[in-house]
Amino acid sequence: MTRSPIHRRTLLKSTAAGAATLPLSHFAFAAPRETLRVGVVGCGGRGTGAAFDCINSSEGVEVYALGDLFEQRVNDAKARLAEHGNAIADERCFTGWDAFERVMDAGVDVVILATPPHFRPRMLRAAVERGLHVFMEKPVAVDGPGVRSVIESGEMAKLKGLAIVSGTQRRHQASYLATMQRIHDGEIGDIVGGQCWWNQGSLWMHPRQAEWSDMEWQLRNWLYFTWLSGDHICEQHIHNIDVMNWALGSTPVSCVGLGGRQVRTDPAYGQIFDHFSIEFEYPGGVLIQSSCRQIDNTASRVGERVVGTKGVADPGGTIRGATNWRYDGDGISPYQQEHADLIASIRAGEPLNEAKRVAESTLSAIMGRMSTYTGKKITFEQALNSTEDLSPPAYEFGDLAVAPVPMPGLTQFS
């Protein structure tokens, strides 16, 4: 049964108490139980997929509770998990605006956060305050205030001995790890530039139904609304931008972006752009050209290229130049490996904490969006300290106007 809506002010207040208000006893690391109980918040395709990746990655793990705004998604995830031997009691399946809190209070040890990215900062804060380990999908925020919140929650988690792993699976992929080690060991020399891409066709869209309110329509098509997804430069292209940050060991200093909404102009697709091209400047004047596109019948390319003084690397597994090398190993799916690494760190009492790293990569994508939307040069510090808060007035089904399509030169940075 769906509970009453939670208004924004109430939700922010309930998840912003912070580490300073907690008793000292909360900061002791507790040994994990023999079977780790996992709660899933967000039971769509990615959340259900992450649930299976988690239980298939390690022994002694079970999905114990489910939560989603929409009942059908909970029912579908519950049925799929039951087919594979992971039954979940009805009393641990929750729907409604407060489903995330009810999952977290259901006796779980780890929570998977796989709702639209807008909700990630406040749900992460709620999990950390409850002393839960977290796997959170990327991106982890859609605006500067959200990024700052995630960084703060990550620091709270360190004090409490909690693990936080994010869905930037390339960081856990054997071929990327091996190649990146060689890059950092100097096999391509000093990095002088590079490119990264996520160019593909269009994605799914659910036509609006007569009974859907504005809020429900936007939630069911969250990809196409900046307040929910951060635009596809954040929702998808963060993977490649994160790899460039990894290679360079830094975040961009500034960026200048071009882009627009040239083909996907139907209002059914919200107000996001369909293409971006960003020039990121990193410390030392290193320039990285970044592009992403969601337009049918166009060339597809997803990947990264790092150029050095002694060679060129595809961080996914090849180096050409003074050294020629290709990764020929194997490994489990990186989608499972990231969960295996999370669980192993919990059991070892050495919790991984990727919150700051993924927050900074999220912000790198956000600053690219900000620059493209406004047509202005944006610095990392400007994006981090931005006051732009994309939250809706209230979390309830009802009227919710669609923000206007950004217009470079007219849209203002805030």
Phi, psi of 53 (to 5 degrees): -60, -40
- Report how far residue 187's alpha carbon sits from residue 314's, in angstroms, rounded to the nearest whole number: 12
What is the maximum alpha-carbon separation in the chain?
64
Do 250 and 273 belong to one domain?
A: yes
Question: What CATH number should be reported for the domain holding residue 208?
Answer: 3.30.360.10
- Report how far residue 254's alpha carbon sits from residue 377's, in angstroms, rounded to the nearest whole number: 7
Neighbours of 27 (CB within 10 A): 15
Contacts of 103 (CB under 8 A, 6+ apart): 39, 40, 41, 65, 66, 67, 92, 94, 111
Do 137 and 202 belong to one domain?
A: no
Answer whether residue 71 is part of any domain.
yes
**Nearest by Cα to 177 from 52, 78, 317:** 317
Answer whether residue 137 is part of any domain.
yes
Answer whether residue 3 is part of any domain.
no
pLDDT 10s digits, 256-265: 999 999 999 9
Do 254 and 321 belong to one domain?
A: yes
Answer whether residue 212 is part of any domain.
yes
- Report how far residue 376's alpha carbon sits from residue 371's, in angstroms, rounded to the nearest whole number: 5
Do 183 and 318 belong to one domain?
A: yes
Answer whether residue 412 is part of any domain.
no
Do 155 and 201 belong to one domain?
A: no
Amino acid letter, residue 102: R
- Report how far residue 107's alpha carbon sits from residue 343's, in angstroms, rounded to the nearest whole number: 17
Question: What CATH number should be reported for the domain holding residue 144?
Answer: 3.40.50.720
Q: What residues does 276 pair with on adjacent strands?
A: 259, 292
pLDDT 10s digits, 52-67: 999 999 999 999 999 9
Do 126 and 61 belong to one domain?
A: yes
pLDDT 10s digits, 335-352: 999 999 999 999 999 999
| pLDDT for the residue 159 | 98
Do 66 and 157 belong to one domain?
A: yes
Do 146 and 189 belong to one domain?
A: no
Q: Which domain holds residue 129?
A: 32-170+337-353
**Nearest by Cα to 273 from 228, 308, 224:** 224
pTM over the 0.75 mark: yes
Answer whether residue 5 is part of any domain.
no
Amino acid letter, residue 335: Y
Chain-centroid distance, C-alpha 133 = 16
Answer whether residue 408 is part of any domain.
no
Do 304 and 236 belong to one domain?
A: yes
- Degrees (nearest 5) of the Cα angle 222, 226, 229? 50
Q: How many domains does the chain have?
A: 2
Tens of pLDDT, residue by residue, the chain (414 residues) = 333 333 333 333 333 433 333 433 334 444 567 899 999 999 999 999 999 999 999 999 999 999 999 999 999 999 999 999 999 999 999 999 999 999 999 999 999 999 999 999 999 999 999 999 999 999 999 999 999 999 999 999 999 999 999 999 999 999 999 999 999 999 999 999 999 999 999 999 999 999 999 999 999 999 999 999 999 999 999 999 999 999 999 999 999 999 999 999 999 999 999 999 999 999 999 999 999 999 999 999 999 999 999 999 999 999 999 999 999 998 789 999 999 999 999 999 999 999 999 999 999 999 999 999 999 999 999 999 999 999 999 999 999 999 999 999 999 999
Do 184 and 307 belong to one domain?
A: yes
Answer whether residue 90 is part of any domain.
yes
Contacts of 249 (CB under 8 A, 6+ apart): 184
pLDDT 10s digits, 283-315: 999 999 999 999 999 999 999 999 999 999 999
Do 143 and 282 belong to one domain?
A: no
Do 243 and 255 belong to one domain?
A: yes
- Degrees (nearest 5) of the Cα angle 42, 48, 52? 140
